[in-house]
């Protein structure tokens, strides 16, 4: 049975926030450090002989896990890197429009805003209320914002601020039907909800392997549709690019993006161990219990706060949820109160004039921790 002791977490904290950065098991962290020692043992041999085949092995493992060819994937540091790489690469010009939702992650929105200023395109927001409408209504809403200037649709698979599962397969289909590019921010998706790239069929899809799939921090991937791979320009140009390149995998897309100078890529090489942890501990089975616990939390928390649920039907796979809370404190005051007085780690979020608490239940979390948070909320809001 998976236990908090299998992780390096501070046992004195009620840690109900796997969602922000992910939590790495001891076994994976040990493997990560083992790779760091291998690098230091013979750095030249490591970089010239070992690194590339090992990166390929990691890409193969992820490709098999999410049903896409490993050569369509590049391993990158994180979702923020991915969105910058995609936006910078695309030929978005003045008068072009990009559709995003009001559920998107702040760092990604900043990237859109930065590049909008650089390139002159326009970002248009589609406001979608909570609880989310059904799929066809949601798709019609996005569709109503598409114009002849729309060149790209950017949506989260699982949103960060509002913990909602979006119908990305249908969103990508809509984008294709209107000849626009689909970019999906799946930062929270891999290891969390079933992820099948062939089925979703996006143009670009990225996810953080460090969030819900147990990899060390700074492990993510970007999938790019084959036809668009030649458009992907490296954010940093180095030995993977040019006729004198030192990295040769047979793909410019992979070469030019996977080596950007000397750095520690041990986290990428720890993917096998993260998947081993996931499989040997039958995490997918445990996730049903996480989902049940989250549902229980929503019902009980709403009884305390008197607020309505922000979900019409809670998705089967989600292990993360938000509840609305009364505006008795500011987000920061409540966050500090929960942490300083009760030792509870949860994000408190401002979203569309609502105040939300987000709970993440990863496999190491217990019923007792959820009850403890409910008890604290009862004291605070009674």
- SS3 track for 202-253: CCEEEEEHHHHCCCCCCCEEEEECHHHHHHCCCCCCCCCCCCCCCCCCCCHH
Triad 55, 260, 195: Cα angle to 5°: 45
Nearest to 153 by CA among 161, 165, 164, 145: 145
Q: How far is the CB of 222 from ligand PLP (least distance, A)?
A: 12
Task: Identify which of residues 208 and 309 has a Cβ nearer to ligand PLP in the complex.
Answer: 208
Task: Identify which of residues 159 and 305 has a Cβ nearer to ligand PLP in the complex.
Answer: 159
Q: How far is the CB of 367 from ligand PLP (least distance, A)?
A: 26
Q: How far is the CB of 131 from ligand PLP (least distance, A)?
A: 19
Task: Identify which of residues 192 and 241 has a Cβ nearer to ligand PLP in the complex.
Answer: 192
Q: How far is the CB of 78 from ligand PLP (least distance, A)?
A: 3
Task: Identify which of residues 213 and 377 has a Cβ nearer to ligand PLP in the complex.
Answer: 213
Q: How far is the CB of 160 from ligand PLP (least distance, A)?
A: 3
Task: Identify which of residues 29 and 221 has a Cβ nearer to ligand PLP in the complex.
Answer: 221
Task: Identify which of residues 108 and 294 has a Cβ nearer to ligand PLP in the complex.
Answer: 108
Task: Identify which of residues 98 and 108 has a Cβ nearer to ligand PLP in the complex.
Answer: 108
Cα separation, 151 vs 236, whole angstroms? 25
Cα separation, 304 vs 302, whole angstroms? 5
Q: How far is the CB of 43 from ligand PLP (least distance, A)?
A: 27
Q: How far is the CB of 307 from ligand PLP (least distance, A)?
A: 23
Per-residue burial over 46-84, b = 16 or more CB atoms within 10 Å of its CB, e = otherwise = bbeeebbebbbebbbbbbebbebebbbbbbbbbbbbbbb
Residue ranges in contact with ligand PLP by CB under 6 A = 20, 78-80, 105, 107-108, 156, 160, 185, 187-188, 208
Helices (H), the chain: 18-21, 26-41, 43-45, 51-66, 79-89, 106-119, 135-145, 168-177, 197-200, 209-212, 252-258, 266-269, 271-280, 283-305, 331-342, 367-381
Nearest to 99 by CA among 207, 205, 159, 181: 181
Residues 6+ apart with CB under 8 A from 310: 130, 131, 162, 321, 322, 323, 324, 356
Q: How far is the CB of 44 from ligand PLP (least distance, A)?
A: 31
Cα dihedral sign for 327, 331, 335, 337?
Answer: negative
Cα separation, 209 vs 79, whole angstroms? 10
Q: How far is the CB of 280 from ligand PLP (least distance, A)?
A: 26
Task: Identify which of residues 89 and 159 has a Cβ nearer to ligand PLP in the complex.
Answer: 159
Task: Identify which of residues 108 and 197 has a Cβ nearer to ligand PLP in the complex.
Answer: 108
What are residue 242's phi and psi, to 5 degrees? 95, 165
Task: Identify which of residues 65 and 155 has a Cβ nearer to ligand PLP in the complex.
Answer: 155
Residues 6+ apart with CB under 8 A from 79: 105, 107, 108, 185, 187, 206, 207, 208, 220
Q: How far is the CB of 106 from ligand PLP (least distance, A)?
A: 8
């Amino acid at each position: 049975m998976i236990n908090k002791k299998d992780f390096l977490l501070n046992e004195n904290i009620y840690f109900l926030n796997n969602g922000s950065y992910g939590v790495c098991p001891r076994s994976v962290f040990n493997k990560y450090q083992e790779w760091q020692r291998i690098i230091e043992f013979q750095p030249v041999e490591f970089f010239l002989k070992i690194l590339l085949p090992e990166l390929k092995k990691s890409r193969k493992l992820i490709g098999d896990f999410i049903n896409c060819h490993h050569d369509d994937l590049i391993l990158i540091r994180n979702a923020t890197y991915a969105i910058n790489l995609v936006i910078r690469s695309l030929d978005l010009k003045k008068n072009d429009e990009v559709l995003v939702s009001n559920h998107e992650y702040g760092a990604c929105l900043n990237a859109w805003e930065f590049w909008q200023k650089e390139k002159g395109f326009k970002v248009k927001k589609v406001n979608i209320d909570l609880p989310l409408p059904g799929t066809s209504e949601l798709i019609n809403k996005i569709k109503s914002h598409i114009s002849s200037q729309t060149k790209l649709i950017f949506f989260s698979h699982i949103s960060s601020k509002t913990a909602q599962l979006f119908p990305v397969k249908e969103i990508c289909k809509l984008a294709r039907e209107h000849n626009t590019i689909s970019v999906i921010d799946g930062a929270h998706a891999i290891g969390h909800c079933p992820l099948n790239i062939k089925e979703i069929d996006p143009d670009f899809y990225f996810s953080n392997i460090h969030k819900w799939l147990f990899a060390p921090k700074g492990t993510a991937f970007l999938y790019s549709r084959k036809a668009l791979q030649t458009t992907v320009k490296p954010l940093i140009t180095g030995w993977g690019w040019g006729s004198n390149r030192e990295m040769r995998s047979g793909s410019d897309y992979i070469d030019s993006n996977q080596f950007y100078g000397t750095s520690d890529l041990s986290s990428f090489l720890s993917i096998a161990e993260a998947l081993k942890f996931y499989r040997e501990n039958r995490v997918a089975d445990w996730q049903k219990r996480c989902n049940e616990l989250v549902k229980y939390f929503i019902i009980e928390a709403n009884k305390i706060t008197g607020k309505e649920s922000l979900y019409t039907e809670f998705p089967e796979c989600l292990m993360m949820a938000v509840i609305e809370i009364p505006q008795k404190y500011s987000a920061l005051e409540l966050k500090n109160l929960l942490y300083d007085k009760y030792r509870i780690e949860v994000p408190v979020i401002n979203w569309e004039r609502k105040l939300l608490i987000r709970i993440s239940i990863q496999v190491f979390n217990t019923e007792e921790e959820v009850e403890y948070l409910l008890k604290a909320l009862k004291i605070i809001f009674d």
